[in-house]
Amino acid sequence: MTDFQAFWVEKDDDGVRHSVITRSTDDLPAGEVLVKVQFSSLNYKDAMSTKGLPGVTRDYPHTPGIDAAGVVAESNAAGISEGDEVIVIGFDLGMNTAGGFGEYIRVPAGWVSPLPGGLSLRESMVLGTAGFTAALCLGKLERMGASPEDGPVIVTGATGGVGSVAVSLLAKAGYEVHASTGKAEKAEYLKTLGASVVAARDELSEENRRPLLKEDYAHGVDTVGGEILTNVIKRLKYGGSVAICGLVASPTFTGAVFPFILRGVNVLGIDSVELPIEAKNATWSRLASDWKLDNLGVMDTEIDLGGISAAVDTILGGQVTGRTIVRHAS
């Protein structure tokens, strides 16, 4: 039994309360692998769980944190040994299973990815679920035949976590990246990440009843949903694809079938949560090798457990830029 610090969310008829408490590893759920967490990261889903919003966590009190990177403290699983550096993202971590905002997690072996050579534990959490999702978007676009020669790629919600990494990954891969944002003051930040063009969000957010618009983009990565996604689809070139992975604007979008039947446009769904562990490991390997980013330090802010509540307000208020990582004290 080991005592450790954890961010704790309580929810009842009086509302939602946050605190940092002392827990014991005996309190953790069953699982083959106990991990001493060194870093976690803050994602939109964590913010929802921390605020007690519906759709993420069923039962409280709870420790959120859908990402964790650390060192194996105990293992009963073949192929995973004490002292191994590992990453855990997705599945049920931080949703209804105690997550990475605690200094220890206990999880099934099938949730655990080895940290690939070329990537540090901290770098893995600067990426986290957000950066991993951006990598899945690029991978799926390329499996659909996308290449830099096709033309510009639009990234919506570009200053957010997924958007920031998507801009960087696409630029590294040689694409001309158009970054859509509602934060005009972040234009230089986006250009530092590799954006060729920074576009005002208003260009895509206004409703337009025309079923097709000018073919401005070869492909897209949409992190927001809603009317913005609708307009991206209408503005894709013939045979273009958009990878969709977010809903901060809206979980719904509307439109006619014309982009699909007249331009052969493709909508590609992205899921990082239940992706099989073998596919997760392969994606982490690419993020440590040919997709390794040298500008991660531009996009991260580091906090401790005591800074989570304020950071959650920032992300839900739409004011976050880049990635927020959580460093554990011990």
pLDDT at 330: 66
d(CA 225, CA 245): 8
The domains found in the chain, sorted by start residue, are 3-115+299-327 (3.90.180.10), 128-269 (3.40.50.720)
Pull the structure tokens for residue 297.
Answer: 């330090």
Predicted local confidence at residue 252, as pLDDT:
87
Ranges of the chain with pLDDT below 70: 330
Q: Closest Cα to residue 59, out of 100, 21, 92, 103?
A: 92
For the whole model, what pTM was predicted?
0.94
Give the three-state DSSP class for 229.
helix
Q: Which two tokens stand for residue 286?
A: 């690419």
Do 77 and 33 touch, CB atoms closer than 8 A? yes
Give tens-digit pLDDT for 93-108.
Answer: 999 999 999 999 999 9
In the beta sheet, which residues pair with residue 62? 9
Q: Determine the pLDDT at residue 227.
A: 94
Burial class of residue 210 (count of CB atoms within 10 Å of its CB; 0-12, 13-18, 19+): exposed
Q: Is the peptide bond preceding residue 251 cis, with omega within 30 degrees of 0?
A: no
Q: Which residue has the tokens 């990537």?
A: 119
Residue 198 pairs in a beta bridge with 179
Classify residue 251 by burial, with Cβ atoms within 10 Å: 0-12, 13-18, 19+: exposed
Beta bridge partners of 241: 219, 266
